[in-house]
Structure 1
Amino acid sequence: EGDAKKAWRVRERFLSAEELQRLSTPAEVLAAWCAKEATYKLCDVEGFRFVGDMECGAIEKGQLRMKLPSMGKDAVVGLYEVEQLCFALSQWRKP
C-alpha cells in the first residue's frame, strides 16, 4: 500500500472537518500529513495536536501556510516530491 493511500485511510485522525472538505485527493492528504509532521517537529511542544493546534492552508505552488493558533504563530511549509515520495520543510513565517 502506498503512502498516499495509507494517509487517505487515516485522514480523520490528523485533519479537521474543514481540512477534510478542502483536501479531496490522496496526494493532497499526504502533503498535509507531511506538512503537519514537519511543523510538529518545528514546534517541539509536548502535547501539541495535529487537529486543533495546526490548521493547513491551501496548497499553492508547492507551499502551504500552517496556522498555529495556540502559539500565535504561522509556519510556511515547502512541499517536495521525489520519486513518488513526499518531503516537507517547515519554517517560521516571518511577520
Structure 2
Amino acid sequence: MALVYLRELNQETKFAIWKIEESTEELLSKLQLDDNEQDKLRQLSKGKRTLHWLATRVLLRYLLQTDNYINCPSDTNGKPYLPDFPYKISLTHSYEYAGVMLSTKGECGMDLELVMDKVVRIKEKFLKPEELEFIQPEQDVLQLYACWCAKEAVYKLQGNKGVSFLEDMTIKPFNYKPQGVMTLDLRKDGLTNTYQVYYEEFQNYMLGYAVE
C-alpha cells in the first residue's frame, strides 16, 4: 500500500489517499477486527468492495498513528464515526484508491471519483438547469465531476441523510480550473446551510472535500 497524497489543510483537518496494492490477506494482517467487523467483512462481495473496506481501515490506522484497535462503527444512516477519538471522519474509495479525512473542526465530507465521459449522460439527474448553465463546454466532463464530488462530499458531511442532489443542493456559478473552490447551498427542513467545497484534479480522478 502506497501513500500517494497527504494534505494537512490546517491544524484541525487532514486527509490522505492510498493506492491499494496489497491482497486481502495482506491488508487483514495490518488490522485488528472485532466480531461485528468480521461479520461485516463476510457480508461484502469479494474483490474490490472488500479491498476498499480494508484499505480505508488501514489508512485510518496510519493517520491516527496507533497500533491499538480502532473502533470505527457506523450510525443508523451509515455514517462512520470514531467514539474513542476527537475526530469527525469521512471515508471514500474509487477503483484502485482509498481515502480518509479527519477533522476536529466539525463534520467533514470527502469524495474521490474516477473521471469518465459517462457523467455527461446523467448530468440532468444531479444538476438543475441553472447549474448546467455555468458548465463550460470545453471542459464539461471535469467540471461535472467537480460538481458531483462537491455534492457527494456535502451529502457525507451532513450524515448520509435523505437529501436529493438535484432538489436539495444548489451550486453557485464558478469557473472551472484544475484546483478551486465552489459554494454549495443545502436546503433541508426549511433551513439553508452554505458550504465552501474544495475540489482538485488528482491524476485521472476528481477529489472534493468540505468541512463545517
Q: Which residue of 2 aligns with 1:22?
A: 134
Question: Is 1:85 matched with 2:201?
Answer: no
Q: Summarize deviations over 1:32-71 as a string: whole Å, max 9, x none.
A: 0111111111111522000121101233560001011333
Aligned positions, number? 91
Contact map agreement 1:4 1:29 (CA 8 A) in 2: no
Question: Is 1:68 matched with 2:186?
Answer: yes
* Shift in CA distance, 58/91, structure 1 to aligned 2, threshold 3 Å: farther
What TM-score comes out, normalization by structure 2 length?
0.40
Q: Which residue of 2 aligns with 1:47?
A: 162
Paired amino acid for 1:38 = A
Mean alpha-carbon deviation: is it higher for 43-52 or for 7-16?
43-52
Q: Summarize deviations over 1:2-29 as a string: whole Å, max 9, x none.
A: 7241211210110011111111311111
The structure with higher relative contact order (CA 8 Å, sep 6+) is 1
Contact map agreement 2:181 2:196 (CA 8 A) in 1: yes
More strand by share: 2
Structure 1, unpaired ranges of 5+: none
Separation of aligned partners in 2, 1:58 and 1:13: 18
Separation of aligned partners in 2, 1:87 and 1:49: 20
- Greater Rg over alpha carbons, structure: 2
Moved over 3 A (4+): none
Contact map agreement 2:171 2:184 (CA 8 A) in 1: yes
Q: Which residue of 1 aligns with 2:153?
A: 38
What TM-score comes out, normalization by structure 1 length?
0.83
CA RMSD across the alignment: 1.8
Contact map agreement 2:115 2:142 (CA 8 A) in 1: no
Please give the secondary structure, in 2, of the residue aligned with 1:39.
Answer: helix
* Shift in CA distance, 56/10, structure 1 to aligned 2, threshold 3 Å: same
Paired amino acid for 2:130 = E
Structure 2, unpaired ranges of 5+: 1-113
Contact map agreement 1:81 1:87 (CA 8 A) in 2: yes
Please give the secondary structure, in 2, of the residue aligned with 1:47.
Answer: coil
